[in-house]
Amino acid sequence: MKKLLLTLAILATLFTGCNQRDADVVSHNLSKQADMFQIDRRIVFYNGINGEYILTIKGKCSIADQGHQLEVTCKTGSDAYKKHFLGLSDNVTYFAEQLESKDVSSYHYEVVFKPQTIIPDIDFRGDLKELAPNIDSND
């Protein structure tokens, strides 16, 4: 009985994905690649009252619109990143432009598995003597 229910659940999941429009799948995959810093973008902040550009950020950037705040995280080196927080208001808006085309599939979603996120880095802050008082630091 459990095998039948599991099989039905898997089939339902597979058939649900069959109704996706190609444009939705491509959009999802492009966003996923941008979030993995594989797509160059230009993000421009614009003042709608005076018509001036306030700020432009260009590079391999991921964006997250949090309502009245836009979070922009950019990869600046092999292991270097910068994160910017930009406030949005009724007269300040933004647009993000993809600077190059990217080859992504319209037939399946892209799934990214990173073992590093399951086993996180741990930063220890404290005194080693408090953590392990019986260990001699000269050993």
| Percent of the chain clearing pLDDT 90 (strictly above) | 37
| Percent of the chain clearing pLDDT 70 (strictly above) | 72
**DSSP codes joined into one string, 45-57:** EEETTT--EEEEE
Q: How far apart are CA 10 and CA 90, in angstroms?
A: 46
pLDDT in the model for residue 69: 93
Q: How far apart are CA 44 and CA 42, in angstroms?
A: 6
Residue 90: alpha-carbon gap to chain centroid? 26
Tell me which H or E stretch contains 114.
none
Mean pLDDT for the chain? 81
102: how many CB neighbours lie within 10 A of its CB? 13
pLDDT tens-digit map of 50-96: 999 999 999 999 999 998 999 999 999 999 999 999 999 999 999 99
* Half-sphere CA count of 5, side-chain side, radius 13 A: 2
Q: How far apart are CA 100 and CA 39, in angstroms?
A: 7
Q: How far apart are CA 8 and CA 28, in angstroms?
A: 26
Position of tokens 């996923």? 32
Q: How far apart are CA 116 and CA 132, in angstroms?
A: 27
7-16, 55-64, 118-127: range with lowest mean pLDDT: 7-16
Categorize the per-residue pLDDT at 132 as very low, low, confident or very high, splitting at 50, 70 and 90: confident
Q: Is the pLDDT higher at 70 or at 134?
A: 70
Tell me the CA distances in angstroms from 109 to 9, 31, 33, 135, one per residue in order. Answer: 19, 11, 11, 51
Sequence spans of domains, the chain: 22-102
**Mean pLDDT, residues 112-120:** 68
Please give the DSSP secondary-structure letter assigned to residue 118.
H
Q: Is the pLDDT higher at 110 or at 87?
A: 87
